[in-house]
Copies of this chain bind each other. A is one copy, B any other.
């Protein structure tokens, strides 16, 4: 494959630095690096210095703060659906990949690059998510996935290559990390190595975003999250922008030991893998969004959303964010959120977040209909006809000899 100019998703770490050199050597092409701040919690300027050191021209170094775009255009739309993959996973890694792919393609178009490259391996989901994004947004783009084509498939080979090419290696990166991680403002993930036995509980010192529930405060913390049109807009009465709001929720939940998840999941490429996640703020959002919907969303719309959610989650997990069917499902979801406005009160305590109150100017909850008191608005006798006609087909079935 002949390549002129490639945009590399570049973290500044050892792996993508080796990839940078590998691309220079193998494809003899111009390299453009793209480093995004998605709230992973790392300084980005060192990535600039390292890229320069490795021979990337200053005008070819892109460093973008995408935190607000990430939360507003990817995280919030996904949470409108109460999205959970396989019943539990909040898709923290999956939802970040399309944004990286989108920005990489924007840069490729801007600089006239004919290729893009990423540092995901050939066994995981992320390669799929990146590449489906690339192809959907620029169908003639060339894609380079070094992990699928090179021979540096061991830690030793990688370090040797790095040393040979004078790539600086951080001291703490010499020894192999006990797990592979991915982080952004929504979550951090841990996979591999020490976690490969799904029967063994992870070490407490692995976690970075949440205190152990045992070490969380002995008194509960209450928090109120306000929603407008399906998205959160304020915490404890303070209006906050998307990234700032999620940051605030991360602090509150993390301090109370909330958001840890240990699971075995089904990868799109066909195998099961074990992952451990911390999604503190996202866990609060998930619980609270469902609660505000419980008060403001019509039953028919809610049950419809619940039924299409697993499909929607699967699409995001598998990397189909930029697909017509994800967009169509999003249209359905967004259509239901206009009136999802109000406040949810949560009680945070040593690892759990429980809803203890919800209110809304659009509430569909009507005390006059639900009360046990004698009432004028609801005629109990209507229930007889309701039941009789709902039962009719069951009765006809039974009469015809079914039972």
Contacts and interface: CB of A to CB of B under 8 A. Distances in A.
Given A390-B386, A393-B270, A295 B264 contact: yes
A336 B270 CA distance: 18
Interface string A332-371: 1111100100000101011110111111001111110111
Top 6 closest A-B pairs, CB basis? Answer: A385-B385, A122-B380, A270-B392, A382-B385, A300-B325, A139-B395
A394 B323 contact: yes
A370 B303 CA distance: 31
A210 to B, nearest CB: 12
A390 to B, nearest CB: 7
B389 A383 contact: yes
Interface stretch (A48-56, A65-73, A81-89): A81-89
Given A132-B390, A384-B145, A370 B272 contact: yes
A181 interface: no
Contacts of A265: 294
A402 interface: yes
A3 B382 CA distance: 20
A362 B371 CA distance: 45
Nearest to A197: B367
23 contacts: A87-B306, A123-B378, A131-B391, A135-B391, A136-B394, A136-B403, A139-B399, A149-B381, A192-B370, A199-B357, A264-B358, A266-B299, A266-B393, A271-B366, A271-B370, A272-B365, A272-B366, A273-B370, A274-B370, A322-B403, A328-B332, A352-B352, A381-B385
Given A200-B357, A351-B352, A371-B192, A270 B381 contact: no
A14 interface: no
Given A304-B329, A350-B350, A299 B393 contact: yes
Given A331-B335, A364-B272, A262 B295 contact: no
Nearest to A323: B300
B402 A339 contact: yes
A272 B300 CA distance: 12
Interface stretch (A23-31, A231-239, A241-249, A307-315): A307-315
Contacts of A401: 339, 362
Contacts of A198: 295, 357-359, 363, 365
Contact of A393 (B263, B264, B271): B271
A121 B380 contact: yes
A83 to B, nearest CB: 11
A5 interface: no
Chain A, interface residues (CB within 8 Å), range: 35 or more
Interface of A: 82, 86-88, 121-123, 127-128, 131-132, 135-140, 145, 147-149, 153-154, 180, 192-193, 196-202, 213-214, 218-220, 260-266, 269-274, 290-291, 294-295, 297-311, 314, 320, 322-325, 327-329, 331-336, 339, 345, 347, 349-352, 354-359, 362-367, 369-374, 378-403
Given A127-B387, A301-B328, A314-B303, A392 B271 contact: yes
Contacts of A145: 383-384
Contacts of A352: 213, 350-352
B199 A358 contact: yes
B391 A389 contact: no
A400 B362 contact: yes
A92 to B, nearest CB: 17
Given A153-B374, A198-B365, A382-B389, 7 more contacts: A136-B397, A269-B383, A270-B391, A298-B323, A362-B401, A383-B385, A385-B385
Contacts of A374: 153-154
Contacts of A136: 391, 394-395, 397-398, 403
